[in-house]
Chain A
C-alpha cells in the first residue's frame, strides 16, 4: 500500500497563478484533510471532508477551494496564489464515523509563491 501520496512535491508559482494539489489514499478512509504548516508553526486545518462529495471549512479556508469527487482523492485548489500562501501543505486521511481519529499524513508539498 502506498498510503497517502501527494502531487506535486515542490512547486513555485508567481502571484496570481492558479494550481491544484492532488492527494490520494489507498486505505479506503472516509475522512480526508488539508493542512498548511508555516516555518516553525503548527498544523492549521484548511478544509476537510467526511466522505465522497462532502467538504467543510477548517480554520484558514480563505483563498482555497477543495473537491472530493472520488473517495480516494482530495484536491486543493488555489485560484489566485498570493505570497502569503507560501507554505508546506500536508494532506491526511483517517477512518470514518464510529472510529477514533488517527490521521495518516502524506509527505507534503512545498509551495513557494513569488
Chain B
C-alpha cells in the first residue's frame, strides 16, 4: 500500500520568514496530493491541493510543488504570520482508491 513520510515533525520560524514542509510517497499511481491545516483543538481543513498533471500551484502565501519522478511534494509558506501556527498534514491518494494516506504531521510555530 501507499506510504507517506513527512518532514520535519516540528518547525519553528520567525514571523516573516518562509517555511517548507516536505513529503515523499511510495505509490507511483498516486495522483492527488492535498495539504490540511489543523489548528489547536480544531478539525483538519484543506488549504491547498495539487494533482499529478501539475508541477506547482499557488494560492496567495502558500504554494505546493510536486516532483513525480522523485515522488515527493512540498508545501511552501512565505511571509509567515503567527496565525500560520498549526499542525500541517500532507496526504496522497489515487482516484477511486477510496482512501488517502496521511503523513504524520508537522507542527509549525511562528514566533512573533
Contacts and interface: CB of A to CB of B under 8 A. Distances in A.
Interface of B: 31-32, 34, 36, 42-46, 49, 51, 89, 93, 95-100, 102-105
Nearest to B99: A48
Interface string A31-53: 10100000001110100101000
A100 B46 CA distance: 13
Contacts, number: 57
Interface centre among A33, A58, A105 (most CB of B within 10 A): A105
Interface of A: 31, 33, 41-43, 45, 48, 50, 56, 58, 90, 97-103, 105-108
Given A43-B105, A100-B49, 12 more contacts: A43-B102, A45-B99, A45-B102, A48-B98, A100-B31, A101-B93, A101-B95, A101-B100, A103-B100, A105-B45, A106-B43, A107-B43
